[in-house]
Amino acid sequence: MYTAFFRLLIILCMFVSRTILACSEDGTCIEKSSWQLGFAFGVGVKTNPLVDGDNIPLVILPDIAWYAEKAYFDNGELGYQWLSQPTFAFETFLQLDRESAFFSFLHPANILVSTENAASHSTNVSALPDLSVSPDENIQNNQRSLSIDDIVSRKWAINGGIRGHYFLSIGEWQLTLQQDISNIHQGQQVGLEYSHRWLWHDFRLGLRVGTDWKSADLIDYYFGVSQRDTSLSRFYFEGKSGWQTYMSINAQKPINENWSWLANIGYRRLPNSLLSSPLIDQNNIRNVFLGVAYRF
C-alpha cells in the first residue's frame, strides 16, 4: 500500500506544476466571520480495523466550518487562533478524541469524516490465542479476537490541544499536541504532518503525510483488555504507546461555482504495539471516496 502511494506521489510531482495557491483560490480559505457549508455525495468506504467491524460506507460527507476573527469551529474542532501570520500560526483547541470513533457509529468523527472510523460490531469471542505464532500471524488468522460488544463501552474523551503551523510557499508543516482533559484516559498524543497542494489547470490536488504518537494511557484505555472487560485472562492485553503513520490524497475539479468533482484516498497504519490487541483485526485503516461536492 505504501509503495503504491509513493509511486502516485512521484507521478504527481512529475506532472503537476508547482503553482502556488492564493488563499481565495481554493476551498482551504474562508471569509472571516462567515460559515462554510458543503456536502459531498458519492461512493466510498472506510475500513474498520476492529474485530468483526463492518466497513463504513461513505455516501454523504458534510463539511461545516465557521471562522471569526480568531475563534473557529471546523468539523468538530472548536478553537482559538492566537497567532496567524503568513509564515506561522498557532492555535489552541478542543475536540472529541477521535480514537473513540472506533467504538461508536454515531461519533461525530464518523459523520464529519476527518479521521479514522467507527462501526457496528457483531458479538463474537473467537478461538483461543495460539501463543506459538507471532501477533501478526494471530491477526491474520483472526485468532484471540474479542468483539467490542463483549467489552465495557469506551467513553468519548475530550482533548485539549495546541497546534503550530509553519507555512511554506507550496506546503505546510503542522505540529499538534493533545491531552485528554476529560479525565477519561489521561492520555496524550503528538502529531507531525506535512501537507502539500497543487493547482494543475483547474484540478486542485492535496497530499498529506503524517505521523501520530499516542501514549500508553490512550491506547490502553481504548484497545487494552483487562478485568473491566472480561474475566478470561487469556484475552488480557495492555496497550503501549506507539506511532500511527498516514497518508492521504485529495483531488477536486470544479464543475461550476457550487459543484465540483471530489476524490479522496487515504491510508493509516496502526502502531505495532496495537497489533496484538484482541480487539484489532487489521493493522491499517483505508479510506476511498469518489463523488461530487456541493458548496453553499
Partner 1 sequence: MELRAIVLIAGIVFCSHVSAQTPEWIIQPNICVAQRVGDECKLTFRIETQNMPTELLCLFLDGQLLSCSQQAYFYKKISITIKQNVLIELKNKAQKTILSKKLLIKYLEPHEHRRRIRPPWSLF
Note whether 289 binds partner 1 by CB under 8 A: yes
Helix (H) or strand (E) holding 93: strand 88-96
| Residue of 261, 296, 205, 258 lying closest to 41 (CA atoms) | 261
Task: Quote the CA–CA distance of 168 and 86 in Å, as a whole number.
Answer: 9
Say whether residue 14 binds partner 1 (CB under 8 A).
no
* One residue of 31, 123, 169, 228 binding partner 1 per CB under 8 A: 31
CA angle 35, 203, 284 (to 5 degrees): 80
The H or E element that residue 261 is part of is: strand 259-269
Contacting range for partner 1; rule: CB under 8 A; set: 4-12, 74-82, 138-146, 234-242: 74-82
Q: For residues 249-268, which are near partner 1 according to CB under 8 A? A: 250, 252, 262, 264-266, 268
- 61 lies in the site for partner 1, by CB under 8 A: yes
Left, alpha or beta for 244 (phi > 0: left; psi -120 to 50: alpha)? beta
Determine which residue in the list 195, 215, 276, 277 makes contact with partner 1, applying CB under 8 A.
195
**Intra-chain end-to-end CA distance of the chain, in Å:** 35
Q: Which of 115, 159, 276, 277 binds partner 1 (CB under 8 A)?
A: 115
Single out the segment in contact with partner 1 by CB under 8 A; choices: 81-89, 120-128, 141-149, 227-235: 81-89
CB of 231 to partner 1, least distance (A): 37
Strand, coil or helix: what is 62? Answer: strand
Say how far apart CA 16 and CA 205 lie, in whole Å.
Answer: 9
Positions in the binding site for partner 1 (CB under 8 A): 23-24, 27-32, 36, 38, 40, 46, 61, 63, 65, 67, 72, 74-75, 77, 79, 81, 84, 89, 91, 93, 113-116, 163, 165, 195, 206, 208, 210, 246, 248, 250, 252, 262, 264-266, 268, 287, 289, 293
